[in-house]
A and B are shown apart, each in its own frame.
Chain A
Amino acid sequence: MKYLPVSNADRAEMLAAIGVSSVDQLFASIPPSVRQDPKLPPPLSEIEIRRLFGNLAKKNANARETAFFLGAGLYHHYTSAIADQMLYRSEWLTSYTPYQPEVSQGTLQSIFEFQTHVCLLTGQDVANASLYEGASALVEALLMAERLSRGRTRAVLSQAIHPEYRETVRTYFANLALDVVEVPVGPDGATDRRALAAAVDEKTFAVAVQSPNFYGIVEDWGAASAAAHAKGALGIAVVAEAASLALLAPPGEKGIDIACGEAQSLGVPMHNGGPILGFLACRTAHERQIPGRLVGQTHDAEGRRAFCLTLSTREQHIRREKATSNICTNQGLMALAANIHMSLLGKHGLREVAKQSHAKAEYLKGRISALPAYRLPYPGPTFNEFLVEGPRAAAPMIRDLAGRGILAGVPLSRFGAGPANRFLVAVTEMNTREEMDRLVSALSEIGRER
C-alpha cells in the first residue's frame, strides 16, 4: 500500500521495541465480538480510480460545457489559473489550523489579509477567519446578536432570505427558546418595509435582510437597520452573491451591525455546493462576541510583526458548553482561495466583474421580458439574478433544456417557495451574449409551443 511507509523489517523491529509479537495484540482493548472485516471491494489503483471517477463525472452537466444560468446562492464566476495552482502547494494544502504561530505565519498572514478584504467589501470594522458557508454564517450572526442583546428572544427575518438559510436557522433555533418571525415581500419583490417595521418589538434582538435577495432584488440595507435600531435590535445583512459587494452600497455604511453570508463568488469554484465559504463581519464594539477563529497582529520576541490566533477564550476548546459557538474547523483553504482572488482582482477587477455580471443580466432580463409568454413578477432593481414567470411548469421545462446543453435556471418549486412556473436566472461575467441569445431562442420556442 503506497501510503504506508513501514517496511516489513521495520515493523518486526518496532513490534520488538514495543514488546509485543503482533500488531493485533495492540488492539486487545477492543472486544472480539465487535470486530469485523469490512466487505469492501479490493483496493483500486490510480488508473482504476481515474476510470471510476471519470465515468461518474461525465454523467454531470458541468458549467464549462453548457450555457449556464444557475445561481440561487451559488454562482459560476471565473477563478484565475494561478489561484488553484497555489492551493496545490503542500504548505497550504497539508498544514492545519495555525495553533503554533511560529511555524504558521503563512496561513495566519493570509487569514489576516482575508479578514481585511472582507472588511473593505462589507464596510464593517472587523471580520472573522471564515465560517462553513452562508446559512450557518447567518445562524452564527443571529446567535451573536442574541448574546449581545442580553435576554431578547426574537429574530425577525425577511422571507426573501434564501429558503435554505431560513431552514437552517429553524434547525438551530428549534431547541434554544428563541423564535423567528418572517416578513413577506412586497409587490416590488423587496421585503415589505411596513411589515418589517411592524414585526420588530422590544423582544427582538436582530432584523436580518438579504440583498440581493433570494429573488435577485437589490434591497436597501438602510431599511433593515432603521427597523432594527428603532427598537434597540441589531441589523444583520445577509449576502449570498458576494460579487455584488463591489457594486452595491456596503452594509457597514448603511447602519448594518453584522454582515454575513456566502463568499463563494469571490474565488471559490462551485464544487457542487461545497466546500464554499461563509463569512461574518461586524463593528468594533461587538468584536469580542464574534464566533469562530480570528487572527490578530502582534510581534515576536525580537519585535518583528507577526500574527496569531486570538481571543481563543471565546472558543469551545476552552469555554466548552459556554463557548460562543460549537464551531472548530473553518474553511481555511477556501479563505486562502478568496484572498488570492480578491488580491488579483482588487479595487478595479472586483468592480468590473460585478458591473459585467449586472450589465449582462440586464441584457438577458430585457430580452426574456420582451418574449410574449414570459414576464418578470417583480419590478424591483436586480443585480445579476432575476425571477421569471414562464408559460408552463419550470422544472420540466428546465430539464428539457438541460438535454440541449442549456442550464436555464433554478425552479422555485425546488424550494417549495412559489408558483411552479417561476424560476431564477443568474448571469455572471462567464456568460456570453451568444449563450444568452441561445437561451432566449429556446425559451421563445417553448413559449410558442403553448
Chain B
Amino acid sequence: MSLEVEEKRPLPGDPLHPEPRHEPLVFELSGEGKVGYSLPPLDVPDVTAIPRELLRPEIAGETEVTEVEVARHFTRLSRLNFSIDQGLYPLGSCTMKHNPRINEEMARLPGFAAVHPLAPEEVSQGTLELAWLLEKALIELTGLSRVTLQPSAGAQGELAGILMVRAALAKEGNPRKIVLIPDSAHGTNPASAHFAGYTVRELKSNARGTLDLDVLEKAMTEEVAALMLTAPNTLGIFEDRILEIAEIVHGKGGYLYCDGANFNSFVGIAKPGLMGIDVIHMNLHKTFSTPHGGGGPGSGPVAVCERLVPYLPRPVIERRPDGTYGLDFERPDSIGRLRTFLGNYGMFVRALAYIASYGNRIGEVAQGAVLNANYIRAGLADLYHLKYDAPTLHEIVFSDKNQAEHGVHNGDIGKRLMDYGFHPPTISFPLIVHGALMIEPTETEGRASLDAFIHAMREIAREVEEDPQIVLKAPHTTPVRRVDEVAAARNLVLRWKPGS
C-alpha cells in the first residue's frame, strides 16, 4: 500500500496545521538498501559455530528503513494519540494524572537503567537501598508490616496477595474454598481469586452502593478465605462501616484483602492497616504517578500485616545490622516467585521520586483528587443521572439514563467528548451501573480544565435533546471516525503480512 496523498488542495480557511490522518505501516515504508542503524566493525574473527540446521535464513518481510523515516513515522503516529499532557483524561479508575519528568530522568540514570539485578550485592547497594526506601515509605503510608515490590502490575499484586492468604490458611491447616467479592469490583479480582484456586462468591451491593453488612454476615462462613474489597469502591464510595466489615471477616478467621487501585483517594489521609485491612496491593502507575505509557508498564506492590510476612514472594530485601542491603532467598514459607528478577524496578525509582517530592504533604494528592471529583459531580448532577447518591471521594459514576431516553448512550457521549478535546471517561464500568460514565479527574487538574469539561458535558446533554444525531455520529474531528470494532473481531487481522 502506498501513502494516500490528500487530493484536496489546501485553501484559505482550512485549519492551519491539519492533523495527520493516515500513516503507513512501518513495513510499508521499507525499501531495499535503506539502513536505520550502524554498528562498529567486528573486531574478532567472523565465525558461526552453530550447525546449519539450527540456523534461519534472512528475516523475510522485516524492515529496511532509515532513521529519518523512523523519526517521522513514530512522531506522526504519536500525534494520533490523546495524552494527559494535552488535557483532562478522566478515565475512571485509571488515575490519569500528570507524570513528573524529573522522575523520568532519575529512572534513566545509568546507575539504575544500565544495571543488572544479578550483579554482586557489593556493587548493587544503591539499587537495593532505593527499593528498601520505597518499601519503608509504602509501609508508612499503609500502616502495615512489610511490602513486596515484585508484582508486575495490579492484577499480579492481587494474585500475590490472595496466594499469601491461601498459604497462611493452609499453614494453619485449611486453605478454605471461597473468596467473597462485591459486585462492584474490578474484573481482575475474580480472575485473580480464580487463579489462586478459589471459588468466587459475588456480594450484591445495597441501595447506597456499598456492601450490605447483613449479606456479608450471612456469606462470611468458615469456608471463606478472604473478602476482596475495593476501598473506596469503584463508585468512589468509601465503605464507612469498614471497621465492622473487618470485624465480621476476622470473626470467622478470614482475611480482609483491599484492592488499592483507588489508594490515591486517601493516601496520606488514612491508613489501611488501621482499618483492619490485612493485605493491600497498590498500583504505582495510579497513586504514585508512574507513566501509563499507552498501556503499561505498571507495578503492583503489596503491603501485608505481620501474620502474612512469612509468605511474601521471594526474595525479600533486607537491611543488615551493619547497614548494608541484601536479598533474602531463605524464605521456606514464601509463595515463591511471580516473575523474574526484582519487579519493574524502573517504576520503583519513579514512585520513590514522586513520594519524596510530596514527602509529609502527600495527603494533598488525595485532597486535590477528591475536591476535583466532587466539583465535577456538583457541576453535572442536575443533567446526568446518579444511581447512587452517597458521598464520593476521587471519582464519580453517572449513568446515561436521562440521555438514553433520546436514544443516546454512554459510549456516544464518550465519543462526542473527543470532539470537545477530552478523552472519554471509563464507559460501562462498574457493571452495577447500567450505562456507566465513570469520571476521575485526578488532582492534577485546575479549575479551568474542570470547568471546560463540565461545560462540554453540559453542551452534550443539550445536544442530546436538540440534535442527537451529532452525538450519535461522533466523533467528527478525530484522526479516524468511529472505528468498527465488531468487524475487527469478526474478521481477525492481527498482523501485516509480506506482500499484502
Contacts and interface: CB of A to CB of B under 8 A. Distances in A.
B207 interface: no
Contacts of A301: 473, 481-484
A393 B260 CA distance: 45
B126 A56 contact: yes
Given A4-B368, A102-B482, A94 B339 contact: no
B493 interface: yes
Contacts of B127: 56, 59-60, 272
B110 A57 contact: yes
Contacts of A306: 480, 483-484
B361 A1 contact: yes
Contacts of A275: 296-297, 344-347
A176 B361 CA distance: 44
Given A29-B391, A253-B56, 11 more contacts: A30-B238, A40-B355, A99-B426, A103-B80, A132-B339, A299-B484, A304-B480, A334-B296, A343-B65, A346-B30, A358-B48
Nearest 4 CB-CB pairings of A with B:
A57-B111, A273-B341, A175-B197, A333-B293
B274 interface: yes
A126 interface: yes
B407 to A, nearest CB: 18
A249 B274 CA distance: 57
A191 interface: no
A318 B190 CA distance: 11
A62 interface: yes
B114 A270 contact: yes
A62 B111 contact: yes
Most chain B beta carbons < 10 A, residue from A30, A308, A313, A429: A30
Interface string A384-417: 0000000000010011001100010010001010
B363 A82 contact: no
A26 interface: yes
B191 A323 contact: yes
A131 B357 CA distance: 31
Contact of B475 (A70, A102, A218, A322): A102
A111 B395 CA distance: 30
Contacts of B415: 100, 102
Contacts of B48: 247, 355, 358-359
Nearest to A36: B271
Contacts of A45: 357
B114 A76 contact: yes
Contacts of B65: 343-344, 346
A330 to B, nearest CB: 5
B270 A248 contact: no
27 contacts: A5-B446, A30-B266, A39-B140, A60-B112, A62-B114, A92-B78, A92-B81, A98-B81, A102-B478, A102-B479, A102-B481, A103-B82, A106-B79, A109-B23, A113-B496, A135-B338, A164-B337, A175-B175, A218-B54, A272-B113, A321-B190, A323-B191, A332-B297, A344-B70, A345-B36, A359-B45, A407-B116
Interface in A89-140: 89-107, 109-110, 112-113, 115-117, 119-121, 123, 125-127, 129-130, 132-136
B55 A176 contact: no
Contacts of B492: 287, 296, 310-311
A323 to B, nearest CB: 5
A56 B36 contact: no
A9 to B, nearest CB: 9
Contacts of B141: 38, 40
A310 B488 CA distance: 6
Contact of B378 (A19, A107, A358): A19
Contact of B166 (A5, A106, A175): A175
Interface string A272-288: 11111000000000010
A348 B35 contact: yes
Contacts of A61: 115, 119, 123-124
Contact of A326 (B75, B159, B240, B426): B159
A28 interface: yes
B393 A26 contact: yes
A11 interface: yes
A385 to B, nearest CB: 12
A286 to B, nearest CB: 12
B345 A273 contact: yes
B444 A349 contact: no
B489 A310 contact: yes
B152 A317 contact: no
B195 A326 contact: yes
Nearest to B113: A269
A73 B340 CA distance: 9
Contacts of B43: 360, 432-433
A1 B296 CA distance: 27
B59 A350 contact: yes
A271 interface: yes
Contact of B77 (A58, A96, A109): A109
A230 B249 CA distance: 50
A332 B296 contact: yes
B445 interface: yes
B163 interface: yes
B414 interface: yes
A86 B75 CA distance: 8
Nearest to B118: A410
B376 to A, nearest CB: 10
Nearest to A118: B495
B472 to A, nearest CB: 11
B11 to A, nearest CB: 20
Nearest to A105: B80
A248 to B, nearest CB: 6
B258 to A, nearest CB: 12
B495 A23 contact: no
B494 interface: yes
Nearest to B133: A56
Contacts of A62: 110-111, 114-115
Nearest to A110: B77
Contacts of A48: 356
Interface in A4-19: 4-7, 10-11, 13-15, 17-19
A74 interface: yes
B494 A92 contact: no
A347 interface: yes
B79 to A, nearest CB: 6
A37 B79 CA distance: 42
A296 B59 contact: no
Contact of B285 (A64, A316, A329): A329
B480 A105 contact: yes
A113 B27 contact: yes
A230 B193 CA distance: 35
A64 B114 CA distance: 7
Contacts of B473: 301
B107 to A, nearest CB: 8
Given A100-B424, A300-B483, A38 B362 contact: yes
A136 B368 CA distance: 37
Contacts of A18: 371, 374-375, 377-378
B53 interface: yes
A96 B292 contact: yes
A57 B126 contact: yes
Interface string B143-179: 1000000001111101100010010000000010000
Nearest to A34: B274
B295 A97 contact: yes
Contacts of A300: 480-484
Interface string B81-97: 11111100101001011
A360 B44 contact: yes
A175 to B, nearest CB: 3
Given A49-B102, A104-B82, A319-B187, A296 B481 contact: no
B158 A326 contact: yes
